[in-house]
Structure formats: structure tokens, C-alpha cells
């Protein structure tokens, strides 16, 4: 798609979706749960459990109370008995909330992130926060480690870290959707949360050439979106995601074209 037309399309879709009605039962998103309690640790829970079916994610995260953070372990086990989500069993959930309580006592997620961010930017900050979570609790299991992920030791070999990049978007950006609970992190330095929908749409639109959905692809996409808005490239995230989710993109004669958005009115 021609550069000017593509920028016009993304600007339109980004603006149209920056509204309260974008988060609803018919278009579920974990951000709708996170926004009910504007708290960085509750939001982290909503972000890291955001894998799988969107409706299931919202249902599960809505059942997790912010009051679980730092609750006494015995009481947590009672509250979470028999509860699980895909790879995480009840004990994984208990230990996650124990860890969050300790993180809060240590100064919180933003404090841990900033230790690495001041030295090595977003990737350094993210690795510092992940390392802090593991340091605060010796508990390990397959489900627990899947939930948190791994520190980024080599950006060239890392996964896209989609859930973490989405969390940073929620914390740093502030608009009708994103909460902007943190200060000191530049919007311009955020990296796109790259999932299958965004990856496929971005390749179809010519915004991404890399064939693997990993951190290198997320960085490449972010750099290309900075050409449209150097200060806030992630404002296009929801637009690209929804374009893929709502199957608005079609290919004709090898070229990507848009079908009518639900926001657009026929002339």
C-alpha cells in the first residue's frame, strides 16, 4: 500500500479506536479488566495472563482480585483452591501473588524497571523487572516460568515478548485506553507488542519484512511506525491488531487492500 495512503489509514483507525466503546464484551481485551483497578501490579497480572482466547483471558483475569497481592499464603491457597489457567495451576497462582506482594514491598514494578531502563533502555528495563520477579521468589515450575518469561539476554535471539510489551504500553502511554501510570519512560522508546494478528497485517501492509515473529520483527515494525509518528509509534498498535482480528484486510492481485471498517460510513 502506498506510504501516504497507509499513514492516512492508520491515523484514521488509531483515532477511531481510541474510545471507551473499543473495550467491550463483543471485542474483549485484557485492558478492560486492568482499567477497573488502575494499579501497576494488577495490570501486570492482566497482561501476563493475556495468552489464548481473548474471551477466556477476560473471564479469568476478571476473577482475580487485586486484594490477592501480598495476601498470606494459607489464605491465598484457600481462595485459589482448584483454580487454574491453561499452563498455570493453583500453586502457580498462589506464588505469583506472593511474588507481587514482595515486589510491592520492594518498591514496585516501575522502580525495578527503571533500574535497567536508565542504563539500557526498554530492553534493559524489562530484563531488570523480570530478574527482580525471579529474585523475589525461589519458586519455580513450568507454568510459573511461562507466565513470567525470561530476561532478554540477546535481543537477536529473543521472542517478541508481546505480553510484556503490551504491559509497558499500558503503563507508559496515556489516552482513552492506555492508563499511563508510569512517568520517566519515553513513549518513543516503546516496542510494539507483536502477536500473530499484528505480525500478519504488518507484513501484508509492507510495514514488516522479517518472516519470523520475534523481537527483531517487533523492533523493525516499531522503527517503521516511527516514520509516521516518531514520538508515539505505539498509538497504531490497537489499529493494526483490530485490522487483523476483524479481518479487514484482503489481498487482490497480490496487493493488500482494506475492506470497510466498522468505523467508516459509506459516501
Distance of CA 246 to the CA centre of its chain: 19
Instruction: State the sign of the Cα–Cα–Cα–Cα dihedral 4, 9, 10, 12.
Output: positive
Long-range contacts of 104-108 (CB under 8 A, 24+ apart): 104/41, 104/69, 104/70, 105/70, 106/132, 106/136, 108/40, 108/41
Could you read off the pLDDT of 159-179 as tens digits, one per residue?
Answer: 999 999 999 999 999 999 999
- pLDDT of 26: 87
The predicted pLDDT at position 242 comes to 86
Report the chain's C-alpha Rg in angstroms: 19
> To the nearest whole percent, how much of the chain has pLDDT over 70?
93
CA distance 234 to 225: 8
pLDDT digits (tens, 9 = 90+) for 182-193: 999 999 999 999
Question: What local confidence, expressed as pLDDT, does residue 244 receive?
Answer: 80
Q: Which of 144, 132, 135, 50 is nearest to 92 (CA)?
A: 144
H/E segment holding residue 249: strand 249-252
- C-alpha neighbours within 13 Å on the C-beta side of residue 214: 11
Cα separation, 224 vs 240, in Å, equals 13
pLDDT digits (tens, 9 = 90+) for 217-227: 999 999 999 99
More confident site: 257 or 261: 257
The mean pLDDT value for 243-254 works out to 67
Identify any residues that bridge with 27 across adjacent strands, giving them in sequence order.
24
pLDDT of 39 reads 98
pTM: 0.93
CB distance 181 to 40 below 8 Å: yes
Residue 262 has pLDDT above 60, yes or no: no
What SS3 state is found at 86? coil
Please report the pLDDT score of residue 115 as a whole number.
97
Amino acid at each position: 500500500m502506498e506510504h501516504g495512503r497507509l499513514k492516512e489509514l492508520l491515523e484514521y483507525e488509531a483515532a477511531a479506536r481510541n474510545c471507551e466503546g473499543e473495550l467491550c464484551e463483543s471485542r474483549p481485551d485484557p485492558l478492560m479488566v486492568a482499567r477497573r483497578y488502575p494499579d501497576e501490579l494488577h495490570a501486570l497480572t492482566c497482561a501476563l495472563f493475556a495468552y489464548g482466547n481473548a474471551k477466556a483471558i477476560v473471564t479469568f483475569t476478571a476473577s482475580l482480585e487485586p486484594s490477592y497481592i501480598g495476601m498470606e499464603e494459607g489464605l491465598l491457597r484457600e481462595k485459589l483452591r482448584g483454580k487454574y489457567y491453561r499452563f498455570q495451576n493453583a500453586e502457580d497462582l498462589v506464588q505469583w501473588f506472593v511474588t507481587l506482594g514482595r515486589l510491592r514491598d520492594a518498591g514496585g514494578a516501575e522502580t525495578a524497571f527503571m533500574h535497567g531502563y536508565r542504563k539500557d533502555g526498554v530492553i534493559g528495563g524489562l530484563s531488570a523487572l523480570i530478574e527482580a520477579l525471579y529474585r523475589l521468589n525461589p519458586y519455580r515450575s513450568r507454568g510459573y516460568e511461562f507466565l513470567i518469561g525470561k530476561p532478554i539476554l540477546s535481543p537477536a535471539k529473543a521472542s517478541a515478548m508481546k505480553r510484556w510489551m503490551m504491559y509497558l504500553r499500558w503503563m507508559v502511554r496515556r489516552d482513552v485506553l492506555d492508563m499511563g501510570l508510569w512517568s520517566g519512560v519515553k513513549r518513543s522508546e516503546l516496542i510494539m507488542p507483536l502477536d500473530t494478528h499484528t505480525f500478519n497485517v504488518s507484513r501484508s501492509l509492507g510495514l514488516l519484512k522479517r518472516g519470523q515473529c520475534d523481537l527483531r520483527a517487533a523492533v523493525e515494525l516499531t522503527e517503521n511506525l516511527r516514520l509516521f509518528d516518531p514520538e508515539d509509534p505505539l498509538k497504531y498498535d490497537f489499529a493494526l491488531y483490530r485490522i487483523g482480528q476483524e479481518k479487514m484486510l484482503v489481498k487482490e492481485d497480490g496487493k493488500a487492500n482494506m475492506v470497510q471498517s466498522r468505523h467508516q460510513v459509506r459516501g
